[in-house]
Structure 1
Amino acid sequence: MKKKIKIMNDNLNTDLYALLKNLPDNILYHQEHGLRHPLGIYNISFKRVTSGFKGVFNSANTREDFSDKKKGINEDIKKLQGKLPSLENEEKQFVEKRIEELKGQLKQISQQQATEDKKTLDSVKELLDSLMSFIDDTYHILKCFFPANSVTKDIRFADKWMEKVEKRLIIDYKNKLKEYRDILAPIVNKIKHNHARLNRISLKTELGQIEGYYVEGVDSKGSLGPDREIHKQFRNQETAFSLNRDLKFHLVNFYFICHHLKVLINRIIKDKHNLQIDTNNVTFKNSEENFDIIKMVNALPNLFFPDEINKSQPEILIKENEVEVIFPSKTSLLLYTDIEINFVATGDGVSKSFRLPYWISR
């Protein structure tokens, strides 16, 4: 079933923001819980998410593509090495010196690439962390609508506290988030608790370059490569995430999370206080800044990694007076025939074998 959410141009935040902005104080209990106002919790968490998207764009757009440089230097080294056997001593020393100079350049470029790769991957990690934290924060927002004495036990986690108060509603809310959370949470948890690392991969195609990443894991044979709990194999190949699809996927799902929470809060307010909150004519002063993020994500080409072509696709439609987010969508994709793969594997000083994404052994 196709799901759509419309975001009006005077509030290019979320429909959840519009609701939280107009809450009457007399229905809130945030101070009893030692929490910020629900709009305050939302604003901080929302700002981190939008900053996460901007961070990925800034790091990805300013990075230099070193692959052609490295390829050219390696070819020069190979040619010079091929000449060595036929050279006399003086010429041989000159060529050997030149080879060492080129190797030094290659090392310097590799260090620059590693620095830029780390910057991009750190920004991706921060975005994923911010989205996971936002989901956690939604339960703190929900706590603000119930007195602290609604639960007598000392329950540390806000979602479990909420289940004690409104189990049926919270289970239903969790089920709406489950499909997305089941993709996001394993990535964040693997990085935090299983020493997993993000590694960069890019595919050069006749239609353009596709940047992406994969979560490194260890298989049953001790080989390092894309974590198979996160990256399902495709035609016996290891897989990864392209930023072109990944950023659209996360932004669209972020708006759906906010919408589901807005619907739930409306129901709680209606049931507890018989109130209907007016969310019309709510403006967001940073709408243009947020609109820039939506436009940047929307401008990413539908040029994905091979396995992602078969996945459900997110879509963003920008119209005159509104933005519409859709998932799943039947948006058309760009198809290519030839690829050149560039990837990075971190290693650990012990592991000796690697599984390479989209590598076809011949």
Structure 2
Amino acid sequence: MKLERKIYRDGNLHPEAFNCLKLLPESVTYHKDHTERHPFSIYNLSIQRVMLAFKAVIDEVDQVYTALFDATGHLDYRLNKLPDLQKELLHALQSHIDDCYRILKVLHPSIKVQEKYVESWLEKVNHPAYKELRNAINDYRESFAPIVNKIKHSGGQLRSIMMYSRGGGVVARTVEKNIQFFPPNARIVGYFLEGMQPNGRIGPDYEIHPDGKTAISLNRDLRYHFANLYRIGHHLRNAIARTVRHFHRIKLPRPIAVTSTTGQYDIESIAERVSKLPPLFFQNEFSKTTPDIKFYRANGSATLTLETPGSPYITWYGEVIIYSEIQIDGVSLEYQIPYK
């Protein structure tokens, strides 16, 4: 799927649902009957939380990428802030999906159904667009929801990890054109979910990291989540249109430019920074498809293009140092560091 947002055409670089909900006629929403916010308000607050979480993680990653080495040859910067920042991003993304279902709910006439959870409510009332949206985005949700659930319900902890080379030890090669180059500042920052392994060690959770020795690079992960945020927005817009057509027999207005008034984050800056993340991933991610994100400015206007699922990016080989920050629990005697 290829999605494109243009400032001169759309007024902003937010996902499609932003403009759709901003222009939504008041007559097609039942949010007051549900004692809920207006659907645009739900979406705006939700996307705001996600974007602020993206910015916080990218800011911290930039600190790591520009940190200097100390006299002993080690990076003079700790990674202890990243787990909490990444945890907030994952929570914000899962909450955003839940908020999309809340939007479908407030576009449906209020019906007395004894259901605590929004998705169960949508299913019981046979919402005309719920299954369509769920089927379109469930693959993405299930790709990271198990991590969030283990953090929430099983005491799972995120831990940081970094691979880096202080010299010219890393040789990278593009997958498609087989072009070889030498990254001047090869640093790959990531995280893993810590859990108890079958052999009694503490290390990468086996259910999240299949071999119990891998991790997730932020260079790939941030691209993946950012692009899928726009994919969700596309499918939510389609679900809104279907819902409105079902209950009101009308089509949504033609899309027009909507200027974003959000002042807490700069979505253009976030999009540009995600698009420029180094294309260096952990070895187990070489074969995975990665969304292609392109950002450029022309004639004073910005354009963002996202393509999912994308294609494999770059492979590399060479000598690197593996650095990870762990916490000893005082009982477990062995720890499995990723990639060791």
Which residue in 2 is equivalent to 1:229?
207
Which residue in 1 is equivalent to 2:174?
none
* SS of alignment partner, residue 225 of structure 1: strand
Q: 1:317 to 1:24 in 2, by over 3 A?
A: same
> What's the CA shift for 1:219?
1.4
Distance 1:222 1:184 in 2: 25
> What's the CA shift for 1:243?
0.8
> What's the CA shift for 1:347?
2.6
> What's the CA shift for 1:268?
1.0
Which residue in 2 is equivalent to 1:282?
258
* SS of alignment partner, residue 286 of structure 2: helix
Which residue in 1 is equivalent to 2:193?
215
Distance 2:146 2:130 in 1: 21
Q: 1:332 to 1:32 in 2, by over 3 A?
A: same
> What's the CA shift for 1:172?
2.9
* SS of alignment partner, residue 293 of structure 1: helix
> What's the CA shift for 1:259?
1.0
TM-score norm. by structure 2 comes to 0.86
Root-mean-square deviation (Å): 2.3
CA contact (8 A) 2:202 2:334 kept: yes
Which residue in 1 is equivalent to 2:43?
42
Q: How many residues in Structure 1 have an aligned counterpart in Structure 2?
A: 313
1:60-209 correspondence runs (5 A): 60-63=61-64, 68-69=69-70, 71-72=72-73, 116-149=78-111, 152-166=112-126, 169-205=129-165, 206=170, 207=183, 208-209=186-187
CA contact (8 A) 2:128 2:243 kept: no
Give unmatched runs, 5+ long, in structure 1. 74-108
Q: Bigger radius of gyration, 1 or 2?
A: 1
* SS of alignment partner, residue 193 of structure 2: strand
Distance 1:250 1:70 in 2: 37
Identity %: 35
Q: 1:328 to 1:338 in 2, by over 3 A?
A: same
More helix by share: 1
Distance 1:245 1:255 in 2: 16
Give unmatched runs, 5+ long, in structure 2. 171-182
* SS of alignment partner, residue 148 of structure 1: coil
Distance 2:58 2:137 in 1: 26
More strand by share: 2
> What's the CA shift for 1:46?
0.6
> What's the CA shift for 1:308?
0.7
Which residue in 2 is equivalent to 1:242?
217
CA contact (8 A) 2:29 2:107 kept: yes
CA contact (8 A) 2:79 2:160 kept: yes
TM-score norm. by structure 1 comes to 0.81
| Of 314-323 and 256-265, the range deviating more from structure 2 | 314-323
CA contact (8 A) 2:129 2:243 kept: no
Q: 1:195 to 1:134 in 2, by over 3 A?
A: same
Q: What is the identity, as a one-letter code, of the residue corresponding to 2:100?
A: T
